[in-house]
């Protein structure tokens, strides 16, 4: 296996792994809207109506499906990186005050999001668009 092929497979696997987490988070906005509203209120200090959570979920789903398909990489990869970065940083109490070890998994995922964004032009395995 060539170096280029190993890099492309690695980026593809990172993209699939990040997508799985983002997909489940997005599904939560449809399946358990009360939970999603509570998360937004507690971590992001945003009071979102249940009806608005569906709209947030639809927009997020469209973007993460574009992400997993490798479409509009600068926008979709950037969106995933920024959203996950905000989520990671907004959970600061979980790392310092109310220590919850499960929240520490956000840091390697953030690193994966940053790597995908920085290397998006090399992520060409099973993408629908070669556009950066």
Number of folded domains that form the chain: 1
Give domain status of residue 127, yes or no: no
Give domain status of residue 71, yes or no: yes
Give domain status of residue 99, yes or no: yes
* pTM (predicted TM-score): 0.92
Give domain status of residue 128, yes or no: no
Give domain status of residue 50, yes or no: yes
Cα-based angle 61, 82, 26 (whole degrees, multiple of 5): 25
What pLDDT, in 10s, does the model give residues 50-100?
A: 889 999 999 999 999 999 999 999 999 999 999 999 999 999 999 999 999
Between helix 33-44 and helix 50-69 the angle, nearest 10°, is 90
Domain that holds residue 95: 3-120
Give domain status of residue 10, yes or no: yes
Q: How many other C-beta atoms lie within 10 A of the C-beta of residue 38?
A: 11
Give domain status of residue 112, yes or no: yes
Give domain status of residue 7, yes or no: yes
């Amino acid at each position: 296996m060539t170096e280029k092929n190993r890099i492309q497979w690695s980026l593809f696997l990172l993209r699939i792994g990040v997508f799985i987490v983002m997909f489940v988070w997005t599904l939560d906005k449809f399946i358990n809207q009360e939970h999603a509203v509570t998360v937004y209120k507690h971590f992001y200090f945003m009071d979102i109506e249940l009806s608005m959570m569906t709209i947030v979920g639809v927009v997020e789903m469209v973007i993460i499906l574009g992400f997993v398909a490798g479409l509009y990489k600068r926008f979709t990869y950037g969106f995933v990186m920024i959203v996950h970065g905000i989520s990671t940083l907004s959970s600061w109490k979980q790392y310092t005050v109310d220590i919850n070890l499960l929240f520490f998994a956000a840091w390697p995922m953030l690193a994966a999001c940053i790597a995908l964004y920085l290397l998006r032009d090399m992520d060409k395995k099973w993408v629908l668009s070669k556009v950066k």
